[in-house]
C-alpha cells in the first residue's frame, strides 16, 4: 500500500490557507459546487476541463480547456496551483499522474486508478476482506456463460470501465439473454455481479484528512429510477447498528485506499441486514448534496478542508432532509415552475447552468428540510412535480 502522503507533500507547507489557488479536474456540477464552497472560504479556483461551456466555468477564477491526455496542457494548467482534486472518475488516471509531477493531487491518482475500474475495485475489496457481492471477471461470451452458471441468474453484467448512471450495464435474467448482453456491451472486459435482493441502498460520504483522521456524514438512504439517483434522504431511519456499520466500513475503505479528500461508499442492505459495498466514488457525490442545507459542513466544504490540510468540519445533521434530482425530463412542458418550487416551505433550488435539458440529464436538484424525513421526502417529490407541471 501507499503511504499516507502520496504526493510531493514534503515540499508543501500546511495547511494551505485561503487565498491559494486550488485546481479541480473536471468541470461538471460537482466541480461547480466545489468551486463555490472554496471561493466562499476565500480560495481561488482553477478548473481544468475538456469542455468550455461547463457548469464549473461560471465559478472559476481560471479556466483551462484542453485534452486530459495532453501532457503539455496539463503541465501548463498546474502552474501556480497549491493542490489539485477531481470531481469525476472518468478521466485517464495518467492525467492525475501528469499533474502529480507538478503539484499535490488529492485523492492521489492511484485511488482514481483503482476505483475507476470495477475489476480493480472488486479486487481491492476482496483483498481487504470488505464485504461485496459475488462476482466474476469475464472477457468472452463463453466465460460469461460459465460465470452465470456459477453465480446464478438473474445477474448484472457491467463494463469494467467507464460506467455510470446505469450506462454500461445489462440485466441478464435467463441464459437466452447472455449473447445479447455480451453484444450490447461491445465485448469489453466486464464484471458479472450477482443480483442482490436488497431492502434499500445506502451511501456514506466521508472525508479523510492528511493526518489520517476520517469523519463521516450520517448514512443516506437512496432511491433510484431508471438507474439514476432519484431521491436521497437523511436520517436513513434504519437500525443504529446498521448505520454504525456503514460508517465503519466507509472509514475502512478510505483508510485502506489512503484517500485524502472526500469519497462516497455505496452499499446494498440485504434482507438479512447485511451491508455489501456496491461502488466507491473517490469524490463528492450526488447523494451528498443534501449536506449543503442539513449539516454544519457541506461535503464540498469538507473536500476543501481535507485537500488543504485543514481540520475536518462537523458533520452531525442539523435537520432531516431529502434531495430530489431534477432531470432534463422536467422541461417536457417548457420552462419549469421554479417560483412554485420556492413557494414550498423548506425547499432549496440548485440549478447547474447546463443549457440543453436532455431526458435523463442531471440539470439540478431540490433539497427540502423538514421536521421529519418522511415530510422532507414528500415535499421534495412535490416540489419536483410542481416544477415539471407547467403547461406550455
- In CATH, what number is assigned to the domain containing residue 36? 3.40.50.20
Domain annotation covers residue 65: yes
pLDDT higher than 90, residue 174 = yes
What is the model's pLDDT at position 391? 42
Query: Do 202 and 186 share a structural domain?
Result: no
pLDDT higher than 90, residue 5 = no
> Please, are residues 194 and 135 in contact by the beta-carbon 8 Å criterion?
yes
Domain annotation covers residue 124: no
Q: Where are the beta strands (DSSP E) in the chain?
A: 21-25, 44-49, 62-65, 83-86, 135-138, 155-159, 169-172, 190-194, 198-208, 214-216, 220-225, 228-234, 261-270, 275-281, 321-327, 347-351, 362-369
Q: How many CB atoms lie within 10 A of CB 42?
A: 10
Domain annotation covers residue 154: yes
46 forms bridges with which residues in the sheet? 23, 62
pLDDT higher than 90, residue 26 = yes
Query: Do 292 and 319 share a structural domain?
Result: yes
End position of a domain, from candidates 194, 218, 238? 194
Task: Place 167 in a pLDDT band, splitting at 50, 70 and 90.
Answer: confident
Grid cell of 356 as nine digits = 440543453
Gyration radius of the chain's alpha carbons: 21
- Domain that includes residue 20, residue range: 9-115
Q: For the whole model, what pTM was predicted?
A: 0.94
What is the model's pLDDT at position 166? 59
Domain annotation covers residue 338: yes
Task: Place 183 in a pLDDT band, splitting at 50, 70 and 90.
Answer: very high
| Closest C-alpha among 50, 30, 49, 28 to residue 38 | 30
pLDDT higher than 70, residue 124 = yes
CA torsion sign, 106 to 112 to 113 to 119? Answer: positive
CATH of the domain at 186: 3.30.1490.20
Report how far residue 148's alpha carbon sits from residue 171's, in angstroms, rounded to the nearest whole number: 12
Query: Do 177 and 253 share a structural domain?
Result: no
How many structural domains does the chain have? 3
Amino acid at each position: 500500500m501507499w503511504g499516507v502522503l502520496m504526493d510531493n507533500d514534503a515540499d508543501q507547507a500546511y495547511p494551505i490557507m485561503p487565498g491559494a489557488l486550488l485546481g479541480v479536474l473536471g468541470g461538471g456540477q460537482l466541480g461547480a459546487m466545489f468551486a463555490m464552497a472554496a471561493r466562499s472560504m476565500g480560495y481561488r479556483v482553477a478548473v481544468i476541463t475538456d469542455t468550455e461551456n461547463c457548469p464549473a466555468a461560471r465559478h472559476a477564477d481560471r479556466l483551462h480547456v484542453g485534452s486530459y491526455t495532453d501532457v503539455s496542457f496539463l503541465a501548463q494548467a498546474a502552474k501556480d496551483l497549491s493542490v489539485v482534486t477531481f470531481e469525476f472518475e472518468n478521466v485517464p488516471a495518467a492525467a492525475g499522474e501528469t499533474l502529480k509531477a507538478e503539484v499535490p493531487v488529492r485523492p492521489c491518482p492511484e485511488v482514481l486508478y483503482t476505483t475507476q475500474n470495477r475489476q480493480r475495485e472488486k479486487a481491492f475489496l476482496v483483498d481487504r476482506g470488505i464485504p461485496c457481492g459475488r462476482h466474476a471477471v469475464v472477457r468472452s461470451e463463453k466465460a460469461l456463460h460459465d460465470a452465470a452458471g456459477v453465480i446464478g441468474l438473474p445477474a448484472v453484467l457491467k463494463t469494467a470501465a467507464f460506467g455510470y448512471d446505469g450506462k454500461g450495464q445489462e440485466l441478464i435474467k435467463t441464459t437466452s439473454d447472455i449473447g445479447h448482453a455480451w453484444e450490447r456491451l461491445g465485448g469489453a472486459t466486464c464484471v458479472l455481479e450477482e443480483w442482490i435482493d436488497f431492502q434499500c441502498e445506502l451511501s456514506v460520504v466521508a472525508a479523510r484528512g492528511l493526518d489520517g483522521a476520517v469523519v463521516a456524514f450520517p448514512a443516506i438512504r437512496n432511491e433510484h429510477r431508471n438507474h439514476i439517483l432519484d431521491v436521497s434522504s437523511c436520517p436513513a431511519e434504519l437500525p443504529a447498528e446498521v448505520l454504525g456499520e456503514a460508517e465503519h466500513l466507509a472509514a475502512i475503505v478510505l483508510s485502506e485506499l489512503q484517500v485524502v479528500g472526500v469519497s462516497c461508499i455505496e452499499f446494498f442492505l440485504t434482507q438479512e441486514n447485511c451491508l455489501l459495498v456496491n461502488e466507491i466514488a473517490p469524490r463528492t457525490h450526488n447523494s451528498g448534496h443534501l449536506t449543503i442545507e442539513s449539516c454544519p459542513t457541506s461535503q464540498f466544504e469538507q473536500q476543501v478542508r481535507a485537500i488543504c490540510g485543514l481540520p475536518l468540519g462537523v458533520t452531525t445533521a442539523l435537520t432531516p432532509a431529502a434531495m430530489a434530482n431534477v432531470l432534463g425530463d422536467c422541461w417536457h412542458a417548457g420552462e419549469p415552475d421554479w417560483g412554485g418550487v420556492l413557494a414550498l416551505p423548506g425547499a432549496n433550488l440548485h440549478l447547474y447552468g447546463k443549457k440543453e435539458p436532455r431526458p435523463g440529464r442531471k440539470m439540478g436538484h431540490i433539497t427540502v428540510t423538514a421536521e421529519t424525513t418522511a415530510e422532507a421526502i414528500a415535499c421534495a417529490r412535490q416540489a419536483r412535480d410542481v416544477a415539471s407541471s407547467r403547461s406550455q
